[in-house]
Amino acid sequence: MAAIPRLPEGFVWGTATSAFQIEGAVDEDGRGPSVWDAFTATPGKVRDGHTAATACDHYHRYEEDVALLRRLGADAYRFSVAWPRVQPDGTGPVNEPGLAFYDRLVDALLDAGVTPMPTLFHWDLPQALEDRGGWLDRDTAHRFAAYAAAVADRLGDRVRHWITLNEPFEHMALGYALGQHAPGHTYLLDALPAAHHQLLGHGLATAALRAAGAPHVMLTNSYTPAIPYSGSKADTEAARAYDTLHRRLFTDPVLLGAYPDLDGFGLAGPLPFVKDGDLDRIKAPIDGLGVNYYNPTRVTAPEPGTTPLPFELAEFEHVNTTDFGWPVIPSGLTQTLLELTADYGPALPPLWVTENGCSYDTAPDADGRIRDQARIDYLEAHVKAVAAAVEQGADVRGYLVWSLLDNFEWAEGYHQRFGLVHVDFATLERTPKDSFDRYAALIAEQRR
Ligand code: FCB
């Protein structure tokens, strides 16, 4: 294995998880229901009817999980705070036992020398807010800011690094446009207000975090270079349209204070749900931009009359795929970091890879060891891809592996295993995989 180039001094290494995917304990200590509880309870929505009622039982086993982070030598840990634990109805007084859990988690992380990096919204909206329209309702943005203030009030004396939202594009597309994730709406382009209200929520929450003294605030988006199927003009335009929807719609307003032109989507002129002053709130300065990267997206011009969208997605040929079927193309990570750097110039804050990882269902061998060489190869190649971007001028400050633990992978239930640590979902036993040891060694080598 060729050596991994040294990342700059102070580069942050760590892992990421999210509340609904690992915590379990969905009915405990006053937690309210979330849209994901309702979705998992709906037959046919999650593969094999899996639910996250127990998940990794992290709610009760967080000390063991923090010990794993210490053993890994992680600098940082990105987790998410479950809004329905803190405000069971999404509004009103805080639920003290819910906040107390995150208080204990933060203390345990700090004791272990691991920087806590909470994300305030990783898709588990309180169901009571969904009943009022969810992110299609502008009011949800204001409620999100109030919730952010409550969390910052409790944790802000120890937490310095905050992330407002996780992947608002996926949440809009899968949750509101295509119905593959909670809350399960199939509104297609009518889902767009869910983009704007999430971004408004990001802006308002950023202001609330600042008011509470937060020194470092980020937004995490997913980024995927849009690769034209061919060199044809039609495919190139289709790729540009996809990039507008996936990347620019969620980045231009935040960094440039303007929405991209959506004429190609039949949306000429001002967007009716954008009110005066919204863009000023959305472009509140941030200290870093979170980049979640898994793979690039191949895009082709649509067959006339087949889709209301100005693009179609296509498969890459002759590439390795993970067990999720996602193509393994590490150069796409270099590309996405460099495209952001080139396209946003001085408006771009430092970048953080807040998620990167792969699903491989490597079973334990007879000796109990999990020899997940495919994950090791994936991680090494992607860390090199980050180093290549840094060499070419991208300002990248950290890299967080998705995920610390095998966990509840949304509509796939427990079928996709992304963890550095294997979880036996019958016994909840944790077993670090070979990739865990390799990542620990990589972190140690980088510090030397
Ligand atoms: C990302 C999500 C994360 C996880 C990975 C595999 O889109 O943010 O929760 O499901 O994909």
Tell me, yes or no, whether 368 lies in a domain. yes
Output the CA 231–ligand 1 centroid distance in Å: 31
Closest ligand 1 atom, residue 416 Cα: 6
Output the CA 408–ligand 1 centroid distance in Å: 10
Domain CATH code at residue 47: 3.20.20.80
**pLDDT-based confidence at 104, cuts 50/70/90?**
very high
Tell me, yes or no, whether 279 lies in a domain. yes
Q: Which residues are catalytic?
A: 167, 355
Residue of 176, 165, 86, 167 lying closest to 130 (CA atoms): 176
Output the CA 234–ligand 1 centroid distance in Å: 31
Tell me, yes or no, whether 282 lies in a domain. yes
Do 205 and 318 contact (CB within 8 A), yes or no? no
Cα–Cα distance for residue pair 431/393, rounded to 1 Å: 38
Do 209 and 145 contact (CB within 8 A), yes or no? no
- Containing structural domain, residue 27: 12-447
Output the CA 107–ligand 1 centroid distance in Å: 26
| Beta-bridge partners for 163 | 119, 218
Output the CA 313–ligand 1 centroid distance in Å: 19
Give pTM, 2 decimals. 0.98
Residue of 12, 124, 43, 13 lying closest to 436 (CA atoms): 13
Residue owning the nearest CA to atom 9 of ligand 1: 18
Tell me, yes or no, whether 5 lies in a domain. no
- Token digits for 180? 């593959």
Average pLDDT over residues 43-48: 98
What is the average pLDDT score of the chain? Answer: 98
> What does the pLDDT look like over 381-396, one tens digit per residue?
999 999 999 999 999 9
Tell me, yes or no, whether 83 lies in a domain. yes
Quick check: helix, strand or coil at residue 446?
Answer: helix
- With 0-12 CB in 10 A as exposed, 13-18 as middle and 19+ as buried, what is 213? exposed
Cα–Cα distance for residue pair 68/70, rounded to 1 Å: 5
> What does the pLDDT look like over 129-143, one tens digit per residue?
999 999 999 999 999
Closest ligand 1 atom, residue 222 Cα: 7
**pLDDT-based confidence at 222, cuts 50/70/90?**
very high
Tell me, yes or no, whether 327 lies in a domain. yes
**For the chain, how many structural domains are there in total?**
1
Output the CA 293–ligand 1 centroid distance in Å: 10
Q: Using the structure block, give the residue that is written with the tokens 């933060």.
A: 106
Closest ligand 1 atom, residue 220 Cα: 8
Residue owning the nearest CA to atom 5 of ligand 1: 402
| Residues within 6 Å of ligand 1 by CB | 18, 21, 166-167, 170, 222, 292, 355, 402, 409-410, 418
In angstroms, how far apart are the furthest CA atoms of the chain? 63
> What does the pLDDT look like over 404-419, one tens digit per residue?
999 999 999 999 999 9
The yes-or-no verdict on residue 358 having pLDDT over 80 is: yes
The string of DSSP codes covering 55-78 is: TT-HHHHHHHHHHHHHHHT-SEEE
Query: Ligand 1 pocket: which of 121, 295, 402 to mutate (most atoms <8 Å of CB)?
Result: 402
Cα–Cα distance for residue pair 404/336, rounded to 1 Å: 24
The yes-or-no verdict on residue 78 having pLDDT over 80 is: yes
Query: Ligand 1 pocket: which of 167, 220, 223 to mutate (most atoms <8 Å of CB)?
Result: 167
Tell me, yes or no, whether 112 lies in a domain. yes
Tell me, yes or no, whether 81 lies in a domain. yes
Query: Ligand 1 pocket: which of 121, 409, 414, 415 to mutate (most atoms <8 Å of CB)?
Result: 409
